[in-house]
Amino acid sequence: MRADTGLLSPGWAGTALDDLLDDRAWLSAMIAFEVALARVQAGAGIAPPHAADVIAAAADPDRFDWRRLVADVRETGNPVVGFVAQLTALVRAVDPEAADHVHLGSTSQDVLDTATMLVCRAVLRRVRDDLRRTAAALAGHARAHRDTVMAGRTLTQHAVPITFGLKVSGWLSGVLDAVDRVERVLDGGLPVSLGGAAGTLAAYREFGAGGGLGLVGPLAAELGLAAADVPWHSTRTPVVDVAAVLAFTSGALGRIAVDVAVLTRTEIGEVAEGAAPGRGASSAMPQKRNPVRATAITAVARQVPALVSVLHQCAVVEDERSAGGWHAEWQPLREALRSVGGAARNAADLAAGLVVFPERMRANAALTGGAIVSERLAVALVPIVGKAEAKALLTAATSATGDLPDVLAGMLRERGHDGDRDRWRALCDPAGYLGAAGELVDRVLERHERLSPA
């Protein structure tokens, strides 16, 4: 059985997420739950002390019959029933007494939801680290290009000048916001699931005084997860919180990617992705160097919002366990984790390798011959001709052919005003109309330093 190895997923292919997210990873996480459960039940005097170790030793993912596991998913509706059957058999072959304590008092949803939280934790930690690497690389660009002038663009048109440092600071600001939100979830937002068949913990309790509610805290401690107040089988707060940070991160990285794609255009050429042999190659056109990291991240950013919308729909579940709502959650969550995990890794790589061409930025900013600072010229004209006339004059001047400062000076002279070409030429220098760009870069860099681990 070879299913999705990434062939159709440039968004995460080759980013080494398989070990954290494939079916085997989920199986391992389910095993971790069962081992931890046996351990805390032993602590509570319900299970024999050695049962957990026996289960851990017997539960080798490679010894499971995968075809059977998958067939059982169809017949029982979830991966746990078949998993428990096989796990029990594996343990029974070694130690029948321990086998009697496998999954004791437990329910499918406790196993799978806890396993999901373990997987989320592993992926979100990796995402956080990659976001930090991304942020560090972006901070480097922001610092280096604090004062590199380029065209600011709105609705595809040159608007007013900005600096590349400011643009990167916007990117960085979003990445830092993402780090913040990922950390908030890692810090207490991933709880163990322990409720039993319908959330009363009745079966766990049945086996002795230490059972039931008293198991939640120790189990959480054993697995390094949080302990929820109340079973969350049909209260999907943890999943929705994870969904929120995945959507957030997808957006924060996606907007960098589409910006890079624009700046990489043949006609613009202000940045390029880092080169490597074969990277960005075409099957037919030797000259092509495609922005593949940006493309991969964009592909993710187009998919994650829809995957997250499924998770939001799946918060709307009926009964103590939904007939379909719970089941629809698993694969979109995995795909979203995988996509964002891939995007974060690719973003770190993209940021680290990004090549910047300040001369092209300068040349492009000059393309409109001064019209890029027409906002400033308008302000300068107001004291001379009044507000309404200023706008009309500029609209005419920017539509006319010829060098803008010249044209404008000429128009002013025609109207009997002082038309000093040099003054208007000086005002037309994009580098003179950068507003607070530098200070804004400094602010974001300060925030970055504040948040960076020592």
Q: Which residues, 361 to 400, sit near its own copies by CB under 8 A?
A: 364, 367-368, 371-372, 374-376, 378-379, 382, 387, 391, 394-395, 398
Site membership for its own copies, residue 283 (CB under 8 A): yes
Site membership for its own copies, residue 248 (CB under 8 A): yes
Smallest gap from Cβ 454 to its own copies, in A, equals 22
- Map tokens 């593949």 to a residue: 292
DSSP string, 402-446: S-HHHHHHHHHHHTTS---HHHHHHHT-GGG--TTHHHHHHHHHH
Taking CB under 8 A as the binding criterion, the range among 32-40, 131-139, 198-206, 418-426 that sits at the site for its own copies is 198-206
Q: Is 401 exposed, middle or buried (0-12, 13-18, 19+ CB in 10 A)?
A: exposed
Q: Which residues have CB under 8 Å from 401's CB, separation 6+?
A: none
Q: Which amino acid is at 199?
A: G
Work out which of 47, 52, 298, 344 binds its own copies, going by CB under 8 A. 298
Site membership for its own copies, residue 208 (CB under 8 A): no
Site membership for its own copies, residue 334 (CB under 8 A): yes
- Map tokens 């005419």 to a residue: 396
Comparison of 144 and 290: residue with beta carbon closer to its own copies: 290
Site membership for its own copies, residue 287 (CB under 8 A): yes
SS3 at position 345: helix
DSSP string, 368-410: TTTGGGHHHHHHHHHHHH-HHHHHHHHHHHHHSSS-HHHHHHH
Smallest gap from Cβ 438 to its own copies, in A, equals 9
Query: 181 an active-site residue?
Result: no
Site membership for its own copies, residue 429 (CB under 8 A): no
Please report, as residue ranges, which positions from 73 to 92 form the binding site for its own copies (by CB under 8 A). Answer: 73-81, 84
Please report, as residue ranges, which positions from 4 to 43 form the binding site for its own copies (by CB under 8 A). Answer: 4-11, 13-15, 18, 22-24, 26-27
Taking CB under 8 A as the binding criterion, the range among 43-51, 121-129, 298-306, 414-422 that sits at the site for its own copies is 298-306
Please name every residue paired with 407 in a beta bridge, in sequence order, or none if there are none: none
Q: Is 276 exposed, middle or buried (0-12, 13-18, 19+ CB in 10 A)?
A: exposed
Half-sphere exposure of 56 (CA within 13 A, CB side): 12
Work out which of 315, 356, 366, 385 binds its own copies, going by CB under 8 A. 315
Burial of 133-165, coded b for 16+ CB within 10 Å and e otherwise, reads bbbbbbbebbeebbebbbbbbeeeebebbbbbb
- Map tokens 């960076």 to a residue: 452
Comparison of 52 and 99: residue with beta carbon closer to its own copies: 99
227 contacts 217 by C-beta, under 8 angstroms: yes
265, 282, 302, 423: the active-site residue: 282
Smallest gap from Cβ 321 to its own copies, in A, equals 4
The tokens of 14 are what?
Answer: 């080759």
193 contacts 109 by C-beta, under 8 angstroms: yes
Site membership for its own copies, residue 440 (CB under 8 A): yes
Comparison of 283 and 422: residue with beta carbon closer to its own copies: 283
Q: Which residues have CB under 8 Å from 43's CB, separation 6+?
A: 210, 218
Work out which of 141, 169, 185, 340 binds its own copies, going by CB under 8 A. 169
Site membership for its own copies, residue 305 (CB under 8 A): yes
How many whole angstroms separate alpha carbon 433 and alpha carbon 161? 7
Phi (first) and psi of residue 172, to 5 degrees: -65, -40
Site size with its own copies, rule: CB under 8 A? 186
Please report, as residue ranges, which positions from 129 to 168 form the binding site for its own copies (by CB under 8 A). Answer: 151-162, 166-167
Work out which of 31, 37, 52, 247 binds its own copies, going by CB under 8 A. 247
Work out which of 48, 53, 66, 274 binds its own copies, going by CB under 8 A. 66
Smallest gap from Cβ 214 to its own copies, in A, equals 9
Work out which of 304, 344, 347, 408 binds its own copies, going by CB under 8 A. 304
128, 321, 334, 345: the active-site residue: 321
Taking CB under 8 A as the binding criterion, the range among 37-45, 125-133, 243-251, 407-415 that sits at the site for its own copies is 243-251
**Furthest CA-CA distance within the chain:** 104
Phi (first) and psi of residue 182, to 5 degrees: -65, -45
The tokens of 173 are what?
Answer: 């600001």
Query: 322 an active-site residue?
Result: no
Comparison of 133 and 167: residue with beta carbon closer to its own copies: 167
The tokens of 357 are what?
Answer: 């061409």
Q: Which amino acid is at 343?
A: A
Site membership for its own copies, residue 356 (CB under 8 A): no
Work out which of 191, 218, 280, 341 binds its own copies, going by CB under 8 A. 280
Smallest gap from Cβ 120 to its own copies, in A, equals 13
Site membership for its own copies, residue 289 (CB under 8 A): yes
Site membership for its own copies, residue 317 (CB under 8 A): yes
Per DSSP (E only), the strands in 102-225 are: 149-154, 157-163, 191-192
Site membership for its own copies, residue 63 (CB under 8 A): no
How many whole angstroms separate alpha carbon 82 and alpha carbon 42? 24
Active site residues: 282, 321
